[in-house]
Amino acid sequence: MNTLGFHKEPQDTRVVVAMSGGVDSSVTAALLHEQGYDVVGVTLQLYDHGAAIDRKGACCAGQDIHDARRIAEDFDFPHYVLDYESNFRETVIDDFADSYLRGETPIPCVRCNQTVKFHDLLKVAHDLDADCMATGHYIQRTVNKQGHAELHRAIDSTKDQSYFLFATTQEQLEFLRFPLGGWDKDVTRQHAERLGLLNAQKPDSQDICFVPNGDYASIVKKLRPAAERPGKIIHVDGRVLGDHNGIIHYTIGQRKGLGIGGGIDEANNPFYVVRLDPKQNHVIVGPKEALARNIIYLKDCNWLAGDTQDIYVKLRSVSKPEPARLQKKENGAAEIYLHAPQYGIAPGQAAVCYQENRMIGGGWIYDTANNSLEQAA
């Protein structure tokens, strides 16, 4: 069996590599090519780079596409750029903007994996007669005794991207490969140096790709000019504390930059954004305790394992997994009961479930509740 799990020679195994132009996917493609695989590089043009950086007349392809193409040229494997601007705008960017209008905190990277990369691009890979598709994500794929693929957290926990891949279906997973999942980022960098990749020194991307400098509010304003509507900032006890210039500027759990004098109450406790009310156009703030939640309601779930109740759940990409009980419901819904209340859980984010290191799927958070006070009473 070859390293990608096929009973044939690498040169007879065609693998489509989704190349972003970053170090990780470039190393993935170059390494598979070095191992003798029939590598086909594909880079998606997702948005007009010139327009995104407000430079009219700039070339429509950004530096990343250029880098991916150069690496394919250097290693002499075929590479194609696919125009996914309209798919991306419809399924990712519009959803991103609408999500803010609903008072949510979206994760466009998951939507992109779910709709563009692992759906549309995967179909192209099938059409090109590929045996599998590889990406540079940090996540481990293993095959269990029953012959089914499983996903496990990356060895490098600081790089683990399992949270962003919760929506990967079992069918997609069978076709996907993640050659970097067993590595530290340092190992990837070393390979990039060894292979002489022109982007070996390129810093990791931190921002959402279509939001330059992290200024998501300006993107939302541009797409939905009516989004920036001034309204009231209200305390959970009903007092009006001040004005805000649009709920798109706020996210649940936010403490800084609320725009109300001092941002603290009489007892010197800081205020937090507790809730966003798009209907009334209110930002509701309160003390930290008001953020506590121990019940999470999920929709559009995707599961990669059978019935399990005792799980760990990650509620943000950067938070650590918390012990909880999972209850699956009909129509892709589920409820999660946290053992201990958590603070700052935002609708629009994903709740991703784990058993040990195995990522077993998750869902989109649409509501939260707290019954810990009742229980305590």
**353 catalytically annotated:** no
Residues interacting with other proteins, by CB under 8 A?
A: 40, 45, 59-61, 65, 69, 78, 80-83, 123-124, 126-129, 171
Query: Which one, 80 or 366, has the nearer CB to other proteins?
Result: 80
Q: To the nearest whole angstrom, how small is the minimum distance from the Cβ of residue 363 to other proteins?
A: 20
Q: What is the DSSP string of 138-169?
A: SEEEEE-TTS-EEEEE-SSTTT--GGGGTT--
Residue closer to other proteins, measured from CB, 43 or 162: 43
Catalytic position from the list 59, 109, 209, 301 = 209
Indicate if 112 belongs to the active site.
yes
Based on CB atoms, which residue is closest to other proteins, 128 or 200? 128
CA 192 to each of CA 29, 30, 330: distance values in angstroms, whole numbers, following the listed order: 11, 9, 46
Smallest distance, other proteins to C-beta of residue 128, A: 6
For the bound state, the minimum distance from the C-beta of residue 73 to other proteins, rounded and expressed in Å, comes to 12
Active-site residue, selected from the candidate residues 59, 60, 109, 112: 112
Distance CA 347, CA 315 (A): 10
We find the least distance from the C-beta atom of residue 58 to other proteins, in angstroms, to be 11
What CA–CA distances, in Å, run from 321 to 171, 274, 346?
A: 26, 22, 16
Q: What 8-state DSSP symbol labels residue 270?
A: B
Is residue 136 within 8 A of residue 28, CB to CB? The reply is: yes
In the 8-state DSSP scheme, what is residue 43? E
CA distance 39 to 117: 17
CB of 84: closest distance to other proteins in angstroms?
Answer: 9
Tell me if 91 sits within 8 A of 113, measured CB to CB: no
Q: Between residues 123 and 222, which has the closer beta carbon with respect to other proteins?
A: 123
Pairing of strands 132-134, 176-177: parallel
Measured from the CB atom, is 127 or 204 closer to other proteins? 127
> Cβ of 191: how many Cβ atoms within 10 Å?
20
The catalytic residue positions are: 112, 209
